[in-house]
Amino acid sequence: MNKERKLIIAGNWKMNKTVTEALALVDDLKNGLANIKEVDIVVCPPFTALCEVAKALRDSNIRLGAQDMSEHNPGAYTGEIAAEMLKEFTVRYVILGHSERRQYHKESDELISKKARAAHVASLEPIICVGETLAERETGQTEKILETQVRGSLTGLSKEQMVETIIAYEPVWAIGTGKTAATTAQAQEAHAFIRGLLVKLFDERTARRVRIQYGGSVKPSNARELMSQPDVDGALVGGASLEARSFAEIVKNSI
């Protein structure tokens, strides 16, 4: 772990948990993680649970995140959620450009960059997801895909905004595909490449301060080794974040 950057472990609940289930999970997490100060802990429930989870997290060491947001200000955009609406629930982080949004909703890098800029206007910290598919990795396109996504998704951000932006490297082939997680070497290689891109796009000082998470089949058993890599600054956890014990163990094993 680089002491210059505080680890951030975020749980992406995706389309899971009723409000009642969400509150039960948060209750268990508050009990299990109450004394953790070395890691920024974030939970990202579905929109329907944000209000009640926000109340439950008050005065705790767990921060609230959202899973997506609109690039638009409030207006005639049926079904969308604006950044200022998230702020009302004390949301601090917002996941943007998750591979599932890119795949199922055809979100482009250009759209993600607009959302990122809108998030910063509202003082939200975006967690911008990038990553290659299995076919892209097997044909040697990993770096090309990452460069395209990083450059496109960060368009228009200032150095100051970039420091308050988190990048999540999530190899699509390691998310819900039955494939194993990336090896620590693969994860570190991708993270180092992304940080190198940030040096080119901004400068070395900015790049050193940006936190880059790994997302893709993170479990208690591989958390410590992944987080020990010099350019891995946390995790974006999917399935394992839906069960309090496994998510708490990931956080504790990261320290």
51 to each of 46, 89, 122, 189, how far by Cα in Å?
Answer: 10, 6, 18, 39
191 catalytically annotated: no
- What would the two tokens of residue 171 be? 């190899």
Single out the catalytic residue among 107, 120, 170, 191: 170
CB atoms within 10 A of CB 79: 5
Asked if 127 and 87 count as a contact pair (C-beta separation under 8 A), the reply is no
Single out the catalytic residue among 98, 107, 132, 191: 98
Asked if 238 and 215 count as a contact pair (C-beta separation under 8 A), the reply is yes
In angstroms, the CA 117 to CA 123 distance is 10
* Surface-to-core class of residue 23, CB atoms within 10 Å of its CB (0-12 exposed, 13-18 middle, 19+ buried): middle
CB atoms within 10 A of CB 28: 15
- What would the two tokens of residue 150 be? 């990083």
In angstroms, the CA 114 to CA 60 distance is 32
170 catalytically annotated: yes
Task: Report residue 172 CA to chain centroid gap.
Answer: 14
In angstroms, the CA 100 to CA 133 distance is 12
In angstroms, the CA 143 to CA 81 distance is 33
Query: What amino acid positions are annotated as catalytic residues?
Result: 98, 170
